[in-house]
Structure 1
């Protein structure tokens, strides 16, 4: 039944995902009140929720525009379920904003495949990733993704490889100007904080153990088939699929290096992983197995709500 509902892109699917995301937002404030900053007003929390749901819409646009799935909505359902499993993604507004800009950058990167306005798209991607890093420093890990995209799309113009640095420099200059005007210094707005943390003890709870096990097991299993299936795609589509896989790898590295491990850092992983798992679900020919596979991904987050 679940596969039937989301097998085609329909407005009702977005309403379902909106509801799931809203439940996650409410659950955070009811179940994990100590994790929420009490100083944040409702005028900050509502935009945070809306921005996260807007990220869902951007993900859907990326997938549908670039034919990264079979025109279904599994990817937005999975994204919403991941958020429900880890409602702590709402703890830090800056990470929600940073992830939003990373998705916008990903959209521009994949569109390089059209070979139109390539320089502009490269600049936009670097600018957006730089902007994302102002809100969360470790988002800068996605910067090498630009060069990977250039190689995968066979962009051979030497000048194209200098454009990302110009885009990043533009953000640095704007941030310095903002710091001078607002804070009377030079570098406070740059948010340069390369601190990392390899202590995973904060994940030592039933919720995170279940969630991380789910993400790793379903993610690794799906990735094996995803990488193998890329070879069967049209040559022109392969770079986009590879970029998504690299995005997932960089997001995983970000989660490992994150200085504060409270669950919010996992948000960067949800979009690319949702697409990878979606592609695997589409390859399953046995309807009963597809229902069980997707059913587990639906059931686990809801079970966690009761723990």
Structure 2
């Protein structure tokens, strides 16, 4: 039933998933109604949800590119069902904005096969990655994907290597101008600090999300390997990018100042892509139906546990 309903990309599918996403988001919001509260306290949750919606929509755009060519909504279904596992991020509106801009950059990355406009897309990719990094400085590491895209998709012109640097300078100038005008300093321009911290303080909230990601990894890894073997050489590049995103997501989860479950959000996205590839390509309907039903039950059940 689930495979049939989400097999095609229809407006009703997105409406159902957006409503579920909104319910999950509102369920964990912490808004204190006090006399001292300002309009900004009520605006920030709206801005955070917009960042989450952008991530939702651009994930759907990613799987619709030639890289994956999926005409279903399995990826966004798995995303919505699993995102509740990282519910602390729902109250971190800055992190949600970073995630939204990061997802826009990924959509550009998976659509860079157009060599004619490669320079413009490379600038856009770098630009949105640096914007995301202004909210979460650890995301600067993803600028390496700008240079990987040059190796994978471009004629390897020397001028292309300077485009990410120009994009960085453009964003930094904008951020510094806003900082000086609004705060009279440059405190909005932050830099990453890499540390390793595995102190999870025996937090049982880690068990469910890590178990879910382990399940998606086992499910999607073999599906991705099978897809790589069957695909053409041009398609294999995108699947390798997914594996690289998986590695970078693991790096983001480990090298953080605090070992928090919301830091795994960048590892979750490639797992969603891998799982959706498996669900799309499996020929045994009862297997895909069982997996989607299992994820649905777990996702909905977790809403009552938090």
Q: What is the TM-score of this pair, normalised by structure 1?
A: 0.89
Measured after TM superposition, the shift of residue 69 of structure 1 is 4.3
Determine the structure 2 residue equivalent to 1:304: 302
Determine the structure 2 residue equivalent to 1:198: 197
Secondary structure at the residue paired with 2:97? helix
Measured after TM superposition, the shift of residue 248 of structure 1 is 2.7
Determine the structure 1 residue equivalent to 2:77: 77
Q: Deviations over 1:188-237 (max 9, x none)?
A: 121124153413415x3333211111102322441233033123223332
Say whether the 8 Å CA contact 1:83–1:89 is kept in structure 2: no
Determine the structure 2 residue equivalent to 1:176: 176
Say whether the 8 Å CA contact 2:47–2:93 is kept in structure 1: no
RMSD: 2.3
Determine the structure 1 residue equivalent to 2:220: 222
1:210/1:2 CA distance change after superposition, 3 Å? same
Determine the structure 2 residue equivalent to 1:10: 10
Q: Distance in 1 between matches of 2:149 and 2:274?
A: 18
Determine the structure 2 residue equivalent to 1:233: 231
Does 1:207 find its partner at 2:213? no
Say whether the 8 Å CA contact 1:197–1:257 is kept in structure 2: yes
Secondary structure at the residue paired with 2:113? helix
Does 1:258 find its partner at 2:256? yes
Q: Which runs of 5+ in 1 are unaligned?
A: none
Say whether the 8 Å CA contact 1:254–1:265 is kept in structure 2: yes
Secondary structure at the residue paired with 1:188? coil
Say whether the 8 Å CA contact 1:75–1:278 is kept in structure 2: yes
Does 1:291 find its partner at 2:289? yes
Say whether the 8 Å CA contact 1:110–1:149 is kept in structure 2: no
Determine the structure 1 residue equivalent to 2:98: 98
Determine the structure 1 residue equivalent to 2:68: 68
Secondary structure at the residue paired with 1:196? coil
Q: Which runs of 5+ in 2 are unaligned?
A: none
Measured after TM superposition, the shift of residue 131 of structure 1 is 0.8
Aligned length: 300
Q: Deviations over 1:43-69 (max 9, x none)?
A: 211221132112211111121133514
Q: Distance in 2 between matches of 1:213 and 1:29?
A: 25
Say whether the 8 Å CA contact 1:112–1:118 is kept in structure 2: yes
Determine the structure 1 residue equivalent to 2:167: 167
Say whether the 8 Å CA contact 1:226–1:280 is kept in structure 2: yes
Q: Distance in 2 between matches of 1:272 and 1:87?
A: 18
Measured after TM superposition, the shift of residue 108 of structure 1 is 1.7
Note the 1:146-161 alignment, pairs <5 A.
146-161=146-161
Say whether the 8 Å CA contact 2:123–2:167 is kept in structure 1: yes
Note the 1:21-60 alignment, pairs <5 A.
21-29=21-29, 41-60=41-60
Determine the structure 1 residue equivalent to 2:267: 269
Q: Compare relative contact order (CA 8 Å, sep 6+) and give the higher one, 1 or 2.
A: 1
Measured after TM superposition, the shift of residue 87 of structure 1 is 2.0
Q: Distance in 1 between matches of 2:136 and 2:80?
A: 22
Measured after TM superposition, the shift of residue 84 of structure 1 is 2.3
Q: Distance in 2 between matches of 1:205 and 1:20?
A: 26
The 4+ residue runs of structure 1 with deviation greater than 6 A are none
Say whether the 8 Å CA contact 1:148–1:243 is kept in structure 2: no
